Amino acid sequence: MLRRGSAGSNTAADHLAITDAAIAAVPPGFRRKLMLTCDGAGASHALIKHLDKLAGRRGYELTYSVGWALGEREKTALRLVPEQAWQAAIDGRGEVRERRADDPCTDAGCAHRACWIEEAHVTELTGLLRCGPAGDQLRAWPAAMRVFARREWPHAGAQLTLLEAENGWRYSLWATNRAAATKGWLGQNPDERSGLVPAPISQREPRTGAKGRRALPMLLAVLLISRLGGRNWMPRSGRK
């Protein structure tokens, strides 16, 4: 989509136009089940409201994943997330994103948890943002929208916020309308009391060998959404 050189970088009207044009380019037979993703520049009220309206059409299914800004309200929520609510992130094969520890045993294919370090984790912030100490901070957004966060070890030279420099993790957030009752590979199982993700490490399946430990198909799989690009089907996995 070509725009004038003077066009703004975060013009909601342009976001809506290109979204509708992209959907129109999909063959009619495939438009009833779509997944749409965009980065943080598209996280405007107008775009998400538009996507929420499209998702509400009878006979249609539209799932979106939109990059979300790490603002002060999100930083406050992150500080309140209990450690056990962070769950291991998974890769495109459904395996835990991990690496060998600095002092592992001599068996490279071992299943010892102490020999592996989880490199990234995800959690849901919706409960804290809607029902936290500050009240509903997402009241202006669609009720079906949920906010998730991923933390991972920063690469060398990464530009970190004060929060990230403080605790050593780099955070990425996204918003989605993925239903909490979704089953299967992309299913979630949030805690109804807190809105967080309580499944403890003890509930994960045991390791089956090197790089063989798979996370349970809970809300963690939602992190795969943002790598599914322009595909118009619901694949079993993506890579984050």
Domain ranges in the chain are: 68-101+113-227
Mean pLDDT computed over 117-143: 90
Q: What is the pLDDT of residues 83-127, one digit of tens each?
A: 999 988 877 767 777 777 778 888 877 877 778 777 788 999 999
Q: If phi over 0 gives left and psi between -120 and 50 gives alpha, with beta otherwise, what is residue 98? A: beta
Question: What share of the chain in percent tops pLDDT 70?
Answer: 73
Distances, alpha carbon 185 to alpha carbons 11, 15, 112, 136, 165, in Å: 35, 30, 25, 30, 34
Give the least confident one: 24-38, 160-174, 219-233.
Answer: 219-233
pLDDT one-digit tens code per residue, 44-59: 889 999 999 999 999 9
72 or 229, greater pLDDT: 72
pLDDT in tens, 178-225: 887 766 545 544 333 333 433 333 333 444 444 444 433 333 223 233
Confidence (pLDDT) at 104: 83
Q: Shortest CA distance to 66 belongs to which of 225, 230, 181?
A: 225
Short-list 67, 85, 80, CA closest to 129:
80
Q: Can you give the pLDDT at residue 154?
A: 84
- Which ranges constitute the DSSP H helices of 108-225? 126-131, 162-167
